[in-house]
Homo-oligomer: A and B are copies of this chain.
Amino acid sequence: MWIQPDEMIDRVTRAVMARLPVPATPRRLTVPIGVSVRHIHLCRAHVTTLFGEGHELRVFNELYQTGHYAAQEQLMVVGPRHAIERVRVLGPPRAYSQVELARTDAVAVGLDLPLATEGRDPESRAVTLVGPEGTVRLPGGSEGGAFIARRHVHLGVDDAAALGVAAGDLLDLEIGGPRPTTLHGVLVRVQAGWRPEVHLDTDEANACGVRTGQTATLIVPSGEGADHG
């Protein structure tokens, strides 16, 4: 059987094109943004020291994740350079106390804080909390202290599986609007019962021009999450 060269070329070309690896469409998930304003988590012993014997935190408003709340209680966070008044306590009480500040806050109080995922990070810094009934000095390091929260996303077990990611993966977050930004290195945290929600601090939210409740697009970058897919 004979065919014309032009037809031959066209058929070979299409055969080659069909075998070329098609770049995979990145996996995406639309998620609401929760903006974390500077806040404090307290252990029960520190609730007692700061607010008095027998004191229980009172709910100011419920947070997006079930069972968590902003408390009515507020404290003064005192650093070597400055104090910030009326910093909100979040409940329920935890096993240890920690203070989460934006970097702008950290500069204001005079602390050079690490980026971390929890207040027991070895690099977390000592800080003083002043309440109506007492004062607590968080020692920093493994006993709990002040830090800047690493941008992260909360995912339920099923959401993580659907997206093909696991705890510890680093994702991108594409934010539209007047200050369009792609945040890289968004840490995945997974727990049964969690609703999908990205947590940014006020510096990140203000830099991107977003507020709590707005949505953004979580993207699994190529090379990330592949081994969990």
- Verify if A204 is at the interface (C-beta below 8 Å from B): yes
Interface residues on A, range: 35 or more
A103 within 8 A of B: yes
User: Assuming A180-B185, A181-B181, A181-B182, is B206 touching A104 (CB within 8 A)?
Assistant: yes
Check: A81 CB closer than 8 A to any chain B CB.
Answer: no
Residues of B within 8 A of A16 (CB): 12-13, 16-17
Q: Which residues of B contact A19 (CB under 8 A)?
A: 13, 17
Q: Which residue of B lies closest to A182 (CB)?
A: B182
Interface residues as binary, A10-50 with B (CB distance below 8 Å gives 1, 0 otherwise) = 11110111011000000000000000000000000000000
Chain B residues with Cβ under 8 A from A1's Cβ? Answer: 4-5
A215 to chain B, nearest CB (A): 17
A182 contacts which chain B residues (CB < 8 A)?
181-182, 184
Cα distance A12–B179 in the bound complex, in angstroms = 46
User: Smallest CB-CB separation from A2: which chain B residue?
Assistant: B5
A39 smallest CB distance to B (angstroms): 15
- Which residues from chain B contact A15 at a C-beta distance below 8 Å? 9-10, 12-13
A194-B42 Cα distance, complex, nearest whole Å:
51
The residue that A9 contacts in the complex, of B12, B102, B107, B201, with Cβ under 8 A, is B12
Contact: A181 with B184, CB < 8 Å? yes
- Bits for A169-201, please: 1 = Cβ < 8 Å to B, else 0: 000000000111111110000000000000001
Verify A184–B180 contact, CB threshold 8 A. Answer: yes
A-B complex: 6 closest residue pairs judged by Cβ atoms: A103-B206, A207-B207, A180-B184, A203-B206, A204-B207, A182-B182
What are 18 of the A-B contact pairs (CB < 8 Å)? A5-B8, A5-B11, A8-B8, A9-B12, A10-B15, A12-B12, A13-B16, A17-B20, A20-B20, A102-B206, A103-B207, A104-B206, A115-B209, A182-B182, A182-B184, A201-B207, A203-B206, A204-B207
